Amino acid sequence: MSDKEPLLATRDIITIAILASLGGALSTFVGYLGNLINLSLGVPFGAGQFMAGLHVFWLVLMRVLVPKTGVGTAGGLLKGVVEMFTGSTHGIVIVIVSLTQGLLIDAAATIGGSPKNNGTLSKLAWWLGAGISASSNVIVFQLFYFAGVPFVYIAVIAILAFCSGVIFSGYFAWETLEFLNDAGVMSYSFITSRSNVQTKSGLVRRNLPAIAFVMFLVLGSTYYVVAVANTFADPYSCDVVGQVDSPYVYHPSSFVGQEVMIEAELIGAYIHIPPENYTGILVSTILLVANAQQDATGLRVIARDGYAAVFDLTSVMNDPRFLLAETEDGLWLIAGDYDGSLWVKMVTRLEVY
């Protein structure tokens, strides 16, 4: 029997599992934040890359806390699997994205090493590596979903994701680690305490950025799960609300025999799906039951991750190629004659306004 120390101690395995699971489970919340940014700027995608660093934040934490080769890669794989099974609309591709990010964090660790004595060079290597890791999602998505987006636009959002990685998974990850070290929660030789202040107030003031960042993640994700995502709701149902006389919860089973089939082609910024047949219930049929009020003019279709698409209500009520179909992920809006960015997946709410 070998007397060598095991590659990973039980504590290391638990650390990787917890951080990867947290990162994967919270990634839908991060996507929700990205969608809010996109909607506020009136663009279908891209601006939300400002939040890309939050996906890599967890990988940096685990690679620093468990400083062994391959931990970033293994953690990225596990995080991607968790994300795939907790609501990602990208399926197996999200696993490849997360795995790639983990590989790049491992590479950054090899180059940067441990930032002993707050070494500027090693920290810089870690932060730049985190930025490159965060921006890699743009490249991977384009490899799988390339749909003719101009190179300049891809370059811009990749740079945005890189900056996000430097800020959120570089700077704030280290702020968090140093706070934990100062607070005595953990102690590693390569995380040097920045403070000799022993009072609680002094500790809080010195580590305020890290505390605020962690509170934002915890409170924000809690709000998202409770108030936005309808996490425990039936994925094959959605609320029909807003300016209607009879709001209700739509279930496909209540419309048996009213299905229609159309042929449609999805052409979007990230993805292209050749023409194929889709079967579902026309949104006009669904809205007739709720009876939209006379002064209503629009329809907002909202997904579980907060993504929303807006349509003219009159056009929807007269559109024979606008329906909700059942998929393995839940309800999918098939907007046959619209841009692919308006084909909303995992629909949870039809809001008439």
277 belongs to a structural domain: yes
Alpha helix ranges (H) inside 113-193? 120-145, 151-164, 172-182
Of the residues 228, 249, 269, which one is the last residue of a structural domain? 228
Q: Say which amino acid occupies 310.
A: V
Q: What is the bridge-based pairing of β-strands 347-352 and 238-242?
A: parallel
Alpha helix ranges (H) inside 165-207? 172-182, 200-206
- The residues pairing with 330 across neighbouring beta strands, listed in sequence order, are 327
Of the candidates 55, 157, 145, the residue with the CA atom closest to the CA atom of residue 105: 55
329 belongs to a structural domain: yes
200's tokens: 């609680």
**Alpha-carbon 179 to chain mean position:** 26
User: What confidence score (pLDDT) does residue 132 get?
Assistant: 95
Tell me the mean pLDDT in the region 138-162. 80
Say which residues have a Cβ less than 8 Å from residue 6's Cβ, sequence separation at least 6. Answer: none
| CATH number for the domain harbouring residue 283 | 3.90.420.10
4 belongs to a structural domain: no
Of the candidates 102, 90, 86, the residue with the CA atom closest to the CA atom of residue 231: 86
Percent of the chain at pLDDT above 90? 39
User: What confidence score (pLDDT) does residue 255 get?
Assistant: 96
pLDDT digits (tens, 9 = 90+) for 87-141: 676 778 889 999 999 999 999 888 876 555 444 557 788 889 999 999 999 888 8
Domain with 29 in it? 10-228
36 belongs to a structural domain: yes
pLDDT digits (tens, 9 = 90+) for 203-212: 666 667 667 7
Of the residues 228, 253, 277, which one is the last residue of a structural domain? 228
233 belongs to a structural domain: no
User: What confidence score (pLDDT) does residue 194 get?
Assistant: 52
Tell me the mean pLDDT in the region 292-314. 90
pLDDT digits (tens, 9 = 90+) for 208-244: 766 777 777 777 767 766 666 665 667 889 999 999 9
